[in-house]
Amino acid sequence: MRVDVVTIFPDYLAPLELSLVGKARRAGVLDVRVHDLREWADDRHRTVDDTPYGGGAGMVMKPDVWGEALDDVVASGTATPDDGAATPDDGVATPDDGRRPRLVVPTPSGRRFDQACAHEFAAEPWLVFACGRYEGIDERFVDDAANRIPVTEVSIGDYVLNGGEVAALVVVEAVARLLPGVVGNPDSLVEESHGVDGLLEYPVYTKPPSWRGLDVPDVLLSGHHGKVARWRRDEALRRTAQRRPDLIDRIDPERLDAHDRAV
Ligand code: ADE
């Protein structure tokens, strides 16, 4: 998968060098390219924002600068080696060549980003993130992009960040770990919170069996797989009902057995 991130703070994306995402990049599973939006500004001050029409506080990011940035990033993916287009040749295979990306715009007014959305994005060959700052990007940037490529505006939660960079990090990490070969043991993708059964994950324990007067639940030491599985499901149900009752309401009743209902 190819990921481009356009931002006025490229350094914010440095964590994409680390951990699993960094490993995926080095393994060639993920091709990440971070761009400084100011490269597309055309004045001496490298201006990317202006005052809002209609008045009000703050500044709005200019559609022309964003539009040209997106045009160039999109063109870099459709370029062939001979046509002279500015495509960094870093030796990483780009399965997206000749394809169009999905534009992802992090914004608190977007669609809520969740695990289902992470799976949808993981099925795309190429994502381009447009990280806005200030009061956001002029609406015409998204309107214009949507005439040519699919666009999703996403929010990572009901709170306001200073810009889209941290949200882009969140989305890239959630998506990258779904790509084949990125997470070592694929079973760990199945059992975790927001997995297939729609429940939060059960509590987990490791050695020692007793620590600071707190004991690992006996059933986990019993070696009885059936009882362990039942205990884990009960705990997941209990925890979900307590912390996220909204998730319980969304579970298909067909997937709940009589024991589940009693928990
Ligand atoms: N930019 C600012 N706040 C945000 C949020 N909650 N989600 C995504 N992008 C944002």
Q: Measuring from atom 2 of ligand 1, which residue has the nearest CA? A: 161
What residues are in contact with ligand 1 under a 6 Å CB criterion?
A: 106-108, 155-157, 159-161, 163-164, 167
Mean pLDDT score across all residues of the chain: 91
What spacing in Å lies between the alpha carbon of 113 and ligand 1's midpoint?
A: 10
In a domain, 183, yes or no: no
Q: Measuring from atom 4 of ligand 1, which residue has the nearest CA? A: 108
3-state secondary structure 139-155: HHHHHHHHCCCCEEEEE
* Residue 164 shares a structural domain with residue 233: no
SS3 43: coil
What spacing in Å lies between the alpha carbon of 112 and ligand 1's midpoint?
A: 10
How confident is the model over 41-81, as pLDDT tens digits?
999 999 999 999 999 999 999 999 999 999 999 999 976 54
Question: ipTM of this model?
Answer: 0.98
* Residue 242 shares a structural domain with residue 153: no
Residue range 156-165: mean pLDDT, rounded: 97
Q: Report the number of distinct structural domains present in the chain.
A: 2
Which pLDDT does position 256 carry in this prediction?
Answer: 85
CA atoms of 8 and 48, how far apart (whole Å): 9
Which pLDDT does position 134 carry in this prediction?
Answer: 83
* Residue 138 shares a structural domain with residue 250: no
Task: Note the pTM of the prediction, 2 decimals.
Answer: 0.89
**Separation of CA 261 from chain center:** 33
**Which residue, of 130, 147, 176, is where some domain finishes?**
176
The answer to whether residues 154 and 104 touch, using CB atoms and an 8 Å cutoff, is yes
In a domain, 182, yes or no: no
* Residue 27 shares a structural domain with residue 69: yes
Q: Which mutation among 7, 103, 105, 107 tests ligand 1's pocket best, with the greatest number of atoms within 8 A of CB?
A: 107
- Where residue 246 sits, what CATH number does that domain have? 1.10.1270.20
Tell whether the model's pLDDT for residue 96 goes beyond 90.
no
* Residue 102 shares a structural domain with residue 199: no
In a domain, 157, yes or no: yes
* Residue 162 shares a structural domain with residue 201: no
How confident is the model over 167-221, as pLDDT tens digits?
999 999 999 999 998 887 777 776 677 767 899 999 999 999 999 999 999 999 9
* Residue 158 shares a structural domain with residue 215: no
- Where residue 171 sits, what CATH number does that domain have? 3.40.1280.10
Give me the domain span that covers residue 111.
Answer: 2-176
What spacing in Å lies between the alpha carbon of 153 and ligand 1's midpoint?
A: 10
Indicate which atom in ligand 1 lies nearest the CA of residue 156. Answer: 7
* Residue 67 shares a structural domain with residue 146: yes
**Which residue, of 176, 211, 242, is where some domain finishes?**
176
The pLDDT-based confidence of 145 (bands split at 50, 70, 90) is: very high
Known binding-site residue numbers: 132, 156-161
* Residue 219 shares a structural domain with residue 141: no
The answer to whether residues 32 and 7 touch, using CB atoms and an 8 Å cutoff, is no
* Residue 172 shares a structural domain with residue 204: no
